[in-house]
Every structure is written in structure tokens, then in C-alpha cells.
A and B are shown apart, each in its own frame.
Chain A
Amino acid sequence: MSLYAFFGAVEQGLLFSIMALGVFITFRALDFPDLSVDGTFPMGAAISAILIFNGVNPWITIAIAVAGGAAAGAVTAILNTRFKILNLLAGILTMIALYSVNLRIMGMPNVPLLGFDTVFTSLENTGMPAYMANVFILGIVALLVGAFLIWFFHTEVGLALRATGDNMKMVKAQGASTNRMILIGVALANGLVALAGALAAQVQGFADVSMGIGTIVAGLASIILGEALISSVGVVRAVIGVIIGSIAYRIAIAMALTIKIGGVSLSPSDLNLITAILVVIALMFPGLRSKIGVVGK
């Protein structure tokens, strides 16, 4: 793998770690399998792209994208808590609805951003090479989001939110509303996923209505890979694990794409198959590790 490809993988890993941290809130902390992220990722991209296209400051477009994602997440949460729709289905309904909403937001299936200023071009203009500028900015955002989540999970609300994913009966008995926790958690998660979508649009130079397909699987793969590499004991290690898992996942994919089997080399269209195999290996890994005698808790 070339250095250029490596930087590309790290860039992708950092970008999607922000999304994976959102998925971590719902899947791991809340135990709420939220599939709306497949819709809120392109939603973030759509909002950011169309606003930049119309001359809005790229940083402001990110803030609006986060608010949009959080609002969509709130819809999923309310469908589940108020209207008693199964959490998995509530997420799917939001995801499907967002496909149309995203087309409305953009007014077209994709928005190109070539030639427009983004949060990345501002640093490139200082003379820094693009691949380094991207890694720099995405790295800072990923670290800030990670630090924010570690703080959040230790607040009064954060504790009640984690307990909600563990034991709702206990949370209610201690006077906290589990519905409120689900609302906060799913909204926050989708806000982060939309943030990742907005950054994706800006770093890639376009937003596309179908760019969200497989978001949830990539997020899960990162989380599981992180748990296999760094055991998930404790909130701090779990959050760091998600970021490292996301980078490892993108590097693994970049490496897999260079593999040649006989005359056939793998192509990006094989990505979903590679992801599935990676997740299986990562899920087997904790067992393998103890089998070969490496002490891991």
C-alpha cells in the first residue's frame, strides 16, 4: 500500500469514526438498533452541500446539518417511545422517509462542490497539501467528538442514558424518564452522523442521495473491530476503541483492495463482501485471542 493510499485510509477512518461514534451511542450505550443513520448521513451531506452551493459559510452549514440530523433522530425516538413502534422499524421508517426528504433538500440527486470553498480548502490555502489538511481537520473533529462523548457519558444525563440501555426498570425506579433518555441519545447520535455526512460531502467534493447506503454496517464494523483490538472495558477505552476501529477498518479495506487472487483483483464493488468477512473475523477475534494464549479481558 502506498503512503498516499495509507493517508487516504486514515482520512476515511477519521471521517467515518465520527459516524461510528454516533452509532456507538445507539447500538451500544442505548441498546437501540437505530437504522435511521443510513438516511441522516446523506442528509447531513445534502444540507451542507446545498447551503455551500448557495454561498453559505461551510462551518455554518455543518451546524445546520447537525441540527437536521438531530431532528430526524428525534423523529425516530418519538416513533418508538410515543407511538410504540418497534425501534428497528422506527429507524427504517425514518431512513426511507429521509430518502425523499434528502432529494427535496438538494433538489437534484447530487450536488457537486468542485470549486467551492469548504472547511478543508481554508487550510489548503495556507499551502498544506490536501491529504494532510484533510487528516488534520478530520483528526481534530474526531478527537473533539470523542472527548465530548467521554464527558457526556459521565454526566448525570449520560449515566441515566447508559443505564437505560442496560436496565430500564431500574432507571424508572430511580425517577428518570427512559423516553427522554432515548430521545436525547438517538437525536445526539444522528446529529453526529449528520456531522460526518456534512464533512464527507466537503472532503469528497459532492453530496449524493445514495451515499448513505451501508452507513450502519460500516459503523458497526468499526465498533466491533475496535472492541476486538482494544477491549471495551470502560467508557474511555470504548470511545477510543471506536475511533481506532474505524481507522483499522478503512486500512483493512484499502489493503484488501490491493489483493490479487490469480488473475482477479478485488474491486470497490466487493466492498460489502469484504466488510462482512471483516466483521466475522472481528467477532471471532476475542475467542481466538484467548485460544492462542494472549491474555485479554
Chain B
Amino acid sequence: MISIDNVKKVFNRGTVNENWAVKGVSLDIKQGSFVTVIGGNGSGKSTLLNLVAGYLKPDEGRILIDDEDVSNVNDYKRASYIGIVFQDPLSGTAKSLSIEENLAIAMKRGKKRMFGMGVKSRDRDFYREQLRTLDLGLEDRLKDKAGLLSGGQRQALTLLMATLVKPKILLLDEHTAALDPKTADKILKLTIKLVNENNLTAMMVTHNMKQALNLGDRTVMMQLGKKVLDVDGEERSKLTVTDLLELFSRELGDEAYDAGML
């Protein structure tokens, strides 16, 4: 279980630009749960994800993964628990390394890297089998450089790499926002497939309200650094995009509409 325990994050503390990006958020994510986090620009949703990933350290509060306090654990050490897919489809893979070499790096997440062969011949069948599930024909291109792939293909590969070693939580940071609608749809379907097949715990940040309600089993809405909505089950299934929009405007005033929340 992932516990975010009354976490606060402030930027530029003590200056005129002091900005409380996250103002005391608590969130318990149960094993196997898929939480979507929605909010406008500056709502603190991305900050929250970065706090869980370890790219930011909380100023107050704690982050626990399976009852272990990881608040001050470095990002790369925390990566042994976490799979992450970024918004930029090029940032999850190394372009000058081949597909199999990228996968070999992902195979070692959370383990000590030594001087054994990176790509072992016995792993190749496993890589092929995994790549086949992406349905992109990458299983025949093990030796191709990742830089030769399209953005969508690279994002699919990143998803696979994030889940190759089962993470305690899969973090998705608007991971379809930079893709064209058709590719985005494909990546979303792939996400659902990987999450379901591996029974993963996941947290997805998005600013697409439809996505936030249709995907996963729980939706959290952030506004000005606070959690303003946290629904699951029946209550969530009754919720519509219009309801969410109304909630937005109530929280923010009518500015939300002007800010183009659709």
C-alpha cells in the first residue's frame, strides 16, 4: 500500500514567490487500486506525483510504501519500487541503445548492476514475448536503436520497461498528453492491459476529465494544492464530466471555465 500522509510542498520558501504547491494532502492507495488524479494547471497534481516518485522531497508529512517511510529516499533508489512513464514520449528510453539493451536496463531495476552481460541470450525470448504483447512488431526489431522508433512506439516501450519488473506502484504523468489522439488511445488501451494483467497499483495524473472518470477505480481532484474530491465505487460511476466541471467552477469560481478546463 502507498500512503501519502499529510504531505506539504512549498517552493521558494521565505521569498515573495513562496508557493505552497501541495498544502497537506493525504491519500492511501490500496494494493491493486488504479487512482486517476485530475486538476488544472497549478493544482499540485504533478507536484504530488513527483513527490511520490522522489523527484521532490516533501517539506512536511511522509510518503510510505508498504509501511516503509521513503520520504527521504533518493529518486533512483526509490525507483526499485516505482515504475514511471513521463509525458515526453522520448524521455523514458535511451535513443542510442537498442530495444533489447533498453529492456535489459529495465530488467535490472531495483537490482545491483555488475559486470555480467547486459543482454543475456536467454533473456531474448522473454523480451520478444513481452514486445509481442505491444502488438507493434517490435519483437522482430530487438537490435534496432530506440531512436528509430516513433513517439508512440517509444512510449509503448517505456510502459513495458516500467512494468517489466513489477513495481509497487506505476506512476503515469500525463503520459498520453503529447501523443496524437489515435496513438494516445492505443497507449491508453495498452496501459489498461498491462495494469490488469499484472494486477498493478497505479496512479495516473491527467487533465482529461473523461479519462479521469473512465479509467481506473478511483478519482481524486486537486485544486490549489488541496484534495477537493476523492470518489470511488458507485458514487464515482454516477459522476459525469459535467458534474466535475461544476465542481471545478464552484471551487475556483467561474475562472475555471475561462481557463479552458475542457
Contact = CB atoms under 8 A, between A and B. Distances in A.
Contacts of A175: 76-77, 79-80, 108-111
A177 B79 CA distance: 10
B96 A166 contact: yes
A163 B79 contact: no
Contacts of B161: 174
A176 B84 contact: no
Contacts of B105: 159-160, 163, 170-171, 174, 176
Interface in A102-157: 152, 154-157
Contacts of A170: 91-94, 105
Size band of the interface chain A makes with B:
20 to 34
Contacts of B101: 159, 162-163
A241 to B, nearest CB: 15
Nearest to B75: A172
Given A170-B93, A177-B76, A155 B110 contact: no
A155 B97 contact: no
A162 B92 contact: no
Interface in A152-196: 152, 154-160, 162-163, 165-167, 169-178
B76 A167 contact: no
Contacts of B16: none
Nearest to A179: B76
A245 to B, nearest CB: 19
Given A156-B118, A159-B104, A177-B76, A169 B91 contact: yes
A176 B108 contact: yes
A155 B116 contact: yes
A178 B86 CA distance: 18
A35 B102 CA distance: 30
B108 A154 contact: no
B117 interface: yes
Contacts of A166: 94-97
Contacts of B75: 172
Nearest to B85: A173
B91 A160 contact: no
Contacts of B77: 175
Nearest to B74: A177
A259 B108 CA distance: 55
Most buried by B among A155, A159, A171, A176: A159
A157 B113 contact: yes
B202 interface: no
A27 to B, nearest CB: 14
B68 to A, nearest CB: 16
B79 A173 contact: yes
A178 B77 CA distance: 11
Contacts of A160: 105, 108, 113
Most buried by B among A157, A162, A170: A170
B92 A173 contact: yes
A155 B75 CA distance: 23
Most buried by B among A157, A159, A171, A175: A175
A40 to B, nearest CB: 23
A154 B97 contact: no
A174 B108 CA distance: 8
B119 interface: yes
Nearest to B93: A170
A177 B80 CA distance: 12
B114 interface: yes
Given A166-B95, A170-B94, A176-B108, A154 B119 contact: yes
B112 to A, nearest CB: 9
B79 A156 contact: no
A176 B92 contact: no
Contact of B114 (A154, A155, A178): A155
A75 B84 CA distance: 33
A157 B91 contact: no
B115 A156 contact: yes
B91 A167 contact: yes
A52 B109 CA distance: 46
Interface of A: 152, 154-160, 162-163, 165-167, 169-178
Given A157-B114, A173-B92, A176-B105, 18 more contacts: A152-B115, A154-B118, A155-B118, A156-B104, A156-B108, A156-B117, A163-B101, A166-B95, A166-B96, A170-B91, A170-B93, A170-B94, A170-B105, A173-B84, A174-B105, A174-B108, A176-B76, A176-B108
7 contacts: A154-B118, A156-B115, A160-B113, A163-B94, A167-B94, A169-B86, A175-B111
